Structure 1
Amino acid sequence: MATPESDGFVRSFARGLRVIEAMGHSGPHTVASVAVATGLPRTVVRRIALTLCELGYAAITPDKGLRLTPKVLSLGMTYLTSLPFWGHAQRVLETVCLQLRESCALAVLQGHEVVYVLRIPSAKVMSPRLGMGSHLPIHATSPGRVLLAHQSPAFRDAYFAQADLRALTPLTLTDRAALTQQLEAVQRTGHAWVAGEFDLQVCGLSVPIHDEHRHVVAALSANLLVAEFDQARAEKEVLPALSAAAQQLSGLAPSFLAPAV
């Protein structure tokens, strides 16, 4: 594997990817803000941004800011949609979404966040608006807790040593001991319930998805409204359908969805 010190490491390419990742987060973005986010010199960021604009992966906004264009989706989605699992997962999520009449999503770990790799929205209006590619904090979301609960103790220790456990609402758990208790509960029950910790109006129920080796590589979640669901109702009305859908996906999920360790 190439490292920053090896001959096989292409520094300019790595810098370009860092700029794309930084611009993928909520904006607005400028050369200066991307330089701060990436730690790269402004002159380097400017050259990369202009290159991305020339290739159609980025654009300059009317106020002279920067934004990514939908073309960036082609970098990964062509490959993902070619996988048999992806078409199957799409159909399974569409079915459970129609059955529950709630938004459902498939999420994986990426660094200190979870990322939606597939999401089927319901007709209900939720805030914040989330979609495929959205990044969410691990500690304050149900898919994050399901995924973290099934990682190795060493992985969890490294996460807690580096993660920013900030309070996103007055209900967000930020204490490691309290979060560890929640992870232990996930291991016992096989699902995670989080209410009002990422957004006061939203709660979530998530279950794990395994690869063929029984490793948890993804989480299937239902996004619900706090005004309509408490934990007892969600576990009674939502969990059975969610668990059945997860069983249809487990064993078929590709191992590369697991986080790098």
Structure 2
Amino acid sequence: MFVASVEKAFRVLDVFKATKSELGLSEVAAKSGIGKSAAQRFLYTLQTLGYLTQNPASKTFRLSSKLFELSASYVPENLLREKAEPVLEEANRRCEETLNLTILDGTDVTYILRFPSKHVVSVNLTVGTRLPAFCTAPGRILLAHAEAGTVEAALDKSQLVRRTEHTEIDPAKLREILKQVRRQGYSFCNQEAFLGDISIAAPVVNSSGDVVAAVNVAVPYPRWSIAKAQRQLVPVIKDVAEGVSAALRS
């Protein structure tokens, strides 16, 4: 049932996610692992369909706005962003720290809404960024409420790569952490995804009682100590999560 040519077409599109510049045929072939002749055919087809545009001078390619139109048709995510945006914006204005909205995508979290800090930060992510769920505060919130199969996939040893010296990669310890996260209603990560980044997250719950997203606040160490972050920011992020949840239910 698997159509290999469709997989290759998406592989070609995927190489453009990691760059802000235009790419030529040779670069696309090298980055996608597809032969140059086949890559040329995929580029031509995607351009003809309107998903890529070509610079007539340099002959390089870039993603077209048609992909944004396609993503805009994903109603659940759009509704979530629409409901969450004013809540996160107001909280960001009050606390002046970075606030994010994320969803679970396989074994990763994807950032779908972001309000950066008014201060200098240690990590500057963008909307669309994907990170491993097991070592991020929002990822742990989402895994704590996910189906068993999703949790096992995320905690498979092949997925557990140490990103910093603080990253917990022991599956047994991570399972205990997820149990604790579910009990306490929030998660806390101290520099496990990025050095200098402290993150606290809480769940967003829809009208059916399902956890559909997570909100998190990220602050830099050592401007924030662990004790200060837990004391001052846990109530903030819980309040933000409840605000988004209430907006979804309205």
TM-score between both structures, scaled by the size of structure 2? 0.82
Residue 24 of structure 1, aligned match among 13, 17, 22: 17
Given the alignment of the two structures, is residue 226 of structure 1 paired with residue 221 of structure 2, yes or no? yes
Q: 2:206 and 2:77 mapped to 1: Cα distance?
A: 18
Give the alignment of 1:119-138 within 5 angstroms.
119-138=114-133
Q: 2:76 and 2:106 mapped to 1: Cα distance?
A: 23
Partner of 2:32: 35
Residue 39 of structure 2, aligned match among 32, 40, 45: 45
1:132 Cα offset (Å): 1.0
Partner of 2:102: 107
Equivalent AA in structure 1 for residue 42 of structure 2: I
When residues 81 and 214 of structure 1 are mapped into structure 2, their CA distance, relative to the original with a 3 A threshold, is closer
1:249 Cα offset (Å): 1.6
CA contact (8 A) 2:101 2:214 kept: yes
Given the alignment of the two structures, is residue 249 of structure 1 paired with residue 211 of structure 2, yes or no? no
CA contact (8 A) 2:140 2:181 kept: yes
Partner of 2:169: 174
SS of match in other structure, 1:118: strand
Give the alignment of 1:64-213 within 5 angstroms.
67-68=62-63, 72-77=67-72, 83=78, 85-161=80-156, 164-213=159-208
1:120 Cα offset (Å): 0.9
SS of match in other structure, 1:105: strand
CA contact (8 A) 2:12 2:28 kept: no
Q: How many residues align?
A: 243
Q: 1:59 and 1:162 mapped to 2: Cα distance?
A: 41
1:166 Cα offset (Å): 0.6
CA contact (8 A) 1:210 1:250 kept: yes
Q: Larger deviation: 124-133 or 245-254?
A: 245-254
Q: 2:124 and 2:40 mapped to 1: Cα distance?
A: 30
When residues 253 and 114 of structure 1 are mapped into structure 2, their CA distance, relative to the original with a 3 A threshold, is farther
Q: 1:151 and 1:86 mapped to 2: Cα distance?
A: 21
* Structure 1, gaps ≥5 residues long: 5-9, 255-261
1:75 Cα offset (Å): 2.6
Q: 2:66 and 2:95 mapped to 1: Cα distance?
A: 33
1:77 Cα offset (Å): 3.5
Deviation by residue 1:73-98 (Cα, 9 ceiling, x = unmatched)? 33313655995543331111100111
Residue 57 of structure 1, aligned match among 46, 52, 58: 52
When residues 189 and 78 of structure 1 are mapped into structure 2, their CA distance, relative to the original with a 3 A threshold, is same
Q: 2:58 and 2:112 mapped to 1: Cα distance?
A: 31
Equivalent AA in structure 1 for residue 52 of structure 2: Y
1:145 Cα offset (Å): 0.8
CA contact (8 A) 1:49 1:58 kept: no
When residues 51 and 162 of structure 1 are mapped into structure 2, their CA distance, relative to the original with a 3 A threshold, is farther
SS of match in other structure, 1:197: coil
CA contact (8 A) 2:107 2:153 kept: no
When residues 44 and 141 of structure 1 are mapped into structure 2, their CA distance, relative to the original with a 3 A threshold, is same
